[in-house]
């Protein structure tokens, strides 16, 4: 499968969710909001064999995490 056809999902670490002790402080955002957010990008590629879906997940975490 060519890289260009894989769906890409964008996530950010939400400090406000972490402060209220949410068990999952990661939230999905639009590509535009992902680009505007500062932080360090973490890349994950999932395959159908291991996760049931082929996709790329990009998550931004605050620097130092």
Residue 4 confidence class, pLDDT cut points 50, 70, 90:
low
Q: What is the pTM of this model?
A: 0.80
Domain coordinates in residue numbering, the chain: 1-43
* Torsion angle defined by CA atoms of residues 27, 32, 48 and 1, in that order, rounded to the nearest 10 degrees: -170
Mean pLDDT over 1-10 rounds to 76
* CA 61 – CA 65 distance, rounded (Å): 6
Contacts 24+ apart (CB under 8 A), 18-23: none
pLDDT per residue as tens digits for the range 10-50: 999 998 888 898 888 999 999 999 999 999 999 999 888 87
**With 60 as the cut, is the pLDDT of residue 3 above it?**
no
């Amino acid at each position: 499968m060519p890289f260009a056809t894989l769906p890409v999902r964008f996530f950010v670490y939400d400090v406000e969710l972490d402060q209220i002790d949410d068990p999952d402080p990661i939230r999905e955002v639009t590509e535009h909001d992902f680009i505007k957010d500062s932080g360090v990008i973490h890349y994950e590629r999932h395959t159908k064999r291991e996760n049931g879906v082929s996709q790329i997940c990009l998550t931004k975490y605050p620097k130092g995490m």
